[in-house]
Amino acid sequence: MAGRARRPLLVLLLVAGVAATAESKVYAPTDRVLLNCGSTTDGLDADGRKWVADTNDNTWLTDSGKSSLLMAADKVDNGLPSTIPYMTARVFTMEAVYNFSVNPRDRHWVRLHFYPSSYNGIAAAGFHFSVSTSTGITLLRNFSVYTYTKALSQAYIIREFSLPPTPAGFLTLTFTPTPMGNETYAFVNGIEVASMPDIFVDPAIMVGFADQTVDIASSTLQTMYRFNVGGSYIPPSNDSGLTRHWYDDTPYVYGATSGVTYRAGPHFQIRYPSEIAEYAAPPEVYLGTRSMGSDPRLNQNYNLTWTMPVDANFTYVARLHFCELLLSRANQRAFDIYVNNKTAQSDADVIGMTSEKGVPMYKDYAVYVSEEPDGQAMWVALHPSVALRPQFYDAILNGLEIFKLNDTAGNLAAPDPEPSRLLAKAELGAGEHEVPKSKPHPHMAKVMGGTAGGAAALGIVAAICVVWYHEKKKRDAASAGGSHTSGWLPLYHSHTSNKSSGHLPANLAGMCRHFSFADIKVATKNFSESLVIGVGGFGKVYRGVVDGDTKVAIKRSNPSSEQGVHEFQTEVEMLSKLRHRHLVSLIGFCEDAGEMILVYDYMEHGTLREHLYMGGKPPLSWRHRLDICIGAARGLHYLHTGAKYTIIHRDVKTTNILVDGDWVAKVSDFGLSKSGPTTMNQTHVSTMVKGSFGYLDPEYFRRQQLTDKSDVYSFGVVLFEVLLARPALDPALPREQVSLADYALSCQRNGTLPDVVDPSIKDQIAPECFKKVADTAEKCLAEQSIDRPSMGDVLWNLEFALQLQDTFEGGSCGRRTVGDGSGSGTGRPALEPSNSNGSMASVTTLGTSSTSRAHEACVIMEETDDEVANSAAFSQLVCPTGR
């Protein structure tokens, strides 16, 4: 199809890419120091940046290092992006001052790099310290890197600050160990001080107070979040000289509907207008967007929302970056912007503000965030401006940054989050993740892979659960007094009777609730066999009702199994850290009386498998099946790439894909999952083979090396299971058919696969869609993991298949002939630009769509072929006509 769509697309490209100009500029700092603290030699980090030695006779430490020691970390964590600067530290026993001479006219970045490790035998937990500047700002106070990283499950952190110009011409950083007996120290692994262009000039609008602004120019800012919205991670080396990290925003998109992402083609040019600082964000950020989707009805009924936990009692500035990539007239796409549920701006129209396509802009909105009982967060939401009656009910965002401003007392520091005991314990058992210091990896410094390592490295508060736990625990401690906890859960302990509201507090915020054993007994009618809905890896699963009417699934472990304890802990650990529309959510747990019980959202429609065969249920339509596979693929893709570490599920199968009341697929059962290889040139985790037969990756089986591609293999089996509606292993069948993977592959290779497809869906599948899905499944089952696609590729292919199916069904593109051989490309008539307005003509169809599916089906292509990539972008525009 892509091939056929090519010619018209080329024409469009010419129309769109007329003005090819502006090379992106690279900022050259007027002064810059990267200090490799505690090291006596210079070295390069994984990005190739040079870090200079911080020896005792250096010019930066004011006392020539008398009060400090050069030390080396006792172990290497393979979550580190590079050995430099993290493997050495300067350790302070008393107050010490670094003094940097700086250009007095420029703002400066100060980035502090910390790696929590024991240093020369000093335990990681022994470091508590404060850092302040000569400009009178407290950056950190009684800070424990160990506690912080432990609570958020990070290998290292970078704290990034932006300091206003210092007329004195020098900038000092004072490290002060917190006095706590004689055992506390301060440390730092790396310090970056670099001039930056003035991208914080104009005051920010105070949201909710029309005539008030906040002065950013004179403030010190701490970067809390920085997202390349709708795009992927941008490393410091690709940030036009400003060396910022830009992360993927996906994990912070809130709610069920996360919109669609779009990326402009390779020839699209970004033109910075003179009024926007050229360096506000690199072109890469502006070249991609997240928008609401193409269904105007759906868009009017939801907000495209991001939510990001922050510290209480500070003013924050949300900087929203926009660049219109598709439309070029005013009032085609206008929307309202809400920050923390208050209207920050109504009727924002990017073209209205920039007057041209491809011209970037940003807006700063400030809000004060006070302490909230359940933890506080920044909310940024977009909603189509219905009042303006724009051509498309849609909204876009290209980049998002959240900065914390110093308070009036010059403080930026917040209390540490509460450490999680389970995580600490899991860490102890995670020996295989640690590379002994005696043999550090030879290529370690060269390998970057910052994507995985850094997802939360800016000091982003990722584990909301833990923060909330902290707050909650304080309150509970006050009210409940001596409640005990056996200490293996990272969750708070309270009594359900204290709860005032009749509804579960659990939701996206990762709040986990404790149930008493009595509560559970009531909920399950004393573990009535009639309520058993499954027998899981470590015990039975019951249907239950809590709080009068809330349906839950309750998983009770078999307390006698040691294996059970471990898997239970893994699952709690994983689930309390992961929140995603396509992963089941944990509501709470019960650990009374030696029980290990987990309480989940109830999945009305049960497992995928029971809708395919042996469930006595009516067979699912092909459309539903594909939808569910796409959802599951999305969940797995998130596991592999969305969290800080790659998480390998290890037990992907149709009984672990659940379906809720709205037919949304959710991946479940994290009992076997593993934090996968992260960076450091290590591509696998060695482990004992676990998982389910029939789905096991042969390479994993042979070499006992687990990679995310093992999940891809299992998912390939799931796809064939969905097509053929038969179990992965069926010993009752003739020998060559026992293993579904082998059988389906042989059918696929000799062309007989269509003959063995589940008869109940055979007539529903569009031939092209079938081919796409079967080809994808085949690729997933490649013998060598290296030949298998990534979960992201699988996801893309399935979405594409769905689009082919849509086209076939005729609803979305008004064509019914794709399957009959005469076929043309997706929506070809709309594609023919008859004149220079051709692109507009097709664009207009966007707003009139009535296909609620269409926006889901349209995604960015990840294939390298430029034309193909553009055809996807294009079909996003043209396909969903509902005329």
Ligand X SMILES: *[C@@H]1O[C@H](CO)[C@@H](O)[C@H](O)[C@H]1NC(C)=O
- Residues in contact with ligand X by CB under 6 A are 62, 97, 99, 101, 128, 136, 142, 144, 147, 170, 172, 178, 180, 182, 214-215, 218-219, 234-235, 238, 301-303, 312-313, 315, 338, 340-341, 371, 379, 381, 383, 405-408, 410, 415-416
Residues 524 and 554 sit within 8 Å (Cβ to Cβ): yes
In the complex with ligand X, which residue's Cβ is closer, 208 or 698?
Answer: 208
Distance CA 335, CA 290 (A): 14
Among residues 163, 129, 165, 122, the alpha carbon closest in space to that of 144 is found at: 129
Smallest separation, CB 153 to ligand X (Å): 18
Q: How many CB atoms lie within 10 A of CB 725?
A: 21
Smallest separation, CB 576 to ligand X (Å): 19
In the complex with ligand X, which residue's Cβ is closer, 174 or 851?
Answer: 174
Distance CA 276, CA 623 (A): 46
Among residues 505, 429, 511, the alpha carbon closest in space to that of 467 is found at: 511
Smallest separation, CB 452 to ligand X (Å): 12
In the complex with ligand X, which residue's Cβ is closer, 260 or 719?
Answer: 260
Q: How many CB atoms lie within 10 A of CB 86?
A: 24
DSSP three-state, residue 831:
helix
Smallest separation, CB 332 to ligand X (Å): 21
Dihedrals φ, ψ of 561, to 5°? -95, 120
Among residues 210, 204, 399, the alpha carbon closest in space to that of 316 is found at: 204
Smallest separation, CB 692 to ligand X (Å): 35
Long-range interactions of 20-23: CB distance < 8 A, separation 24+:
20/267, 20/269, 21/269, 21/271, 22/269, 22/270, 22/271, 22/272
Residues 554 and 598 sit within 8 Å (Cβ to Cβ): yes
In the complex with ligand X, which residue's Cβ is closer, 382 or 652?
Answer: 382
Smallest separation, CB 157 to ligand X (Å): 16
User: Look-up: residue for tokens 């502090």?
Assistant: 112
Write the burial class of residue 459 (CB in 10 Å: 0-12 exposed, 13-18 middle, 19+ buried).
buried
Catalytic one of 627, 651, 708, 806: 651
Pairing of strands 138-143, 260-263: unpaired
Smallest separation, CB 406 to ligand X (Å): 4
DSSP three-state, residue 127:
strand
In the complex with ligand X, which residue's Cβ is closer, 408 or 784?
Answer: 408
In the complex with ligand X, which residue's Cβ is closer, 383 or 514?
Answer: 383
Tell me 234's DSSP state: B
Distance CA 146, CA 176 (A): 16
In the complex with ligand X, which residue's Cβ is closer, 362 or 393?
Answer: 393
Residues 660 and 603 sit within 8 Å (Cβ to Cβ): yes
Strand segments, DSSP code E, in 249-352 are: 253-254, 260-263, 288-291, 304-310, 314-323, 335-339, 342-348
Residues 169 and 104 sit within 8 Å (Cβ to Cβ): yes
Q: In what order do the strands lie in the sheet with 129-133?
A: 96-101, 170-177, 129-133, 138-143
Smallest separation, CB 254 to ligand X (Å): 9
In the complex with ligand X, which residue's Cβ is closer, 142 or 346?
Answer: 142
Residues near 833 by Cβ (< 8 Å), separated by ≥ 6?
8, 11, 12, 15, 839, 841, 842
Smallest separation, CB 643 to ligand X (Å): 18
Smallest separation, CB 508 to ligand X (Å): 9
In the complex with ligand X, which residue's Cβ is closer, 340 or 576?
Answer: 340
Amino acid letter, 578: L
In the complex with ligand X, which residue's Cβ is closer, 410 or 754?
Answer: 410
Dihedrals φ, ψ of 649, to 5°? -70, -45
Residues 663 and 828 sit within 8 Å (Cβ to Cβ): no
Smallest separation, CB 385 to ligand X (Å): 12
Dihedrals φ, ψ of 857, to 5°? -80, -20
Q: Let me know if 758 is a catalytic residue.
A: no
Pairing of strands 342-348, 170-177: unpaired
Smallest separation, CB 112 to ligand X (Å): 18
Q: Using CA atoms in the order 431, 432, 438, 442, what is the torsion angle rounded to 10 degrees?
A: -150
* Cis peptide leading into residue 266 (ω within 30°): no
In the complex with ligand X, which residue's Cβ is closer, 232 or 558?
Answer: 232
In the complex with ligand X, which residue's Cβ is closer, 306 or 645?
Answer: 306
Q: Is 555 annotated as a binding residue?
A: yes
Amino acid letter, 287: L
Q: Which residues pair with 190 in a beta bridge?
A: 36, 113
What DSSP letter does each residue of 65-95 carry, written as one string?
TTTEEEEEBSSEETT-S-STTTTEEEEESS-
What DSSP letter does each residue of 594-659 carry, written as one string?
G--EEEEE--TT-BTGGGTSSS-SPPPPHHHHHHHHHHHHHHHHHHHHTSSS-EE-S---GGGEEE
Kindly list the catalytic residues: 651
**Residues of each annotated binding site:** 555
**Residues of each annotated binding site for ATP:** 555
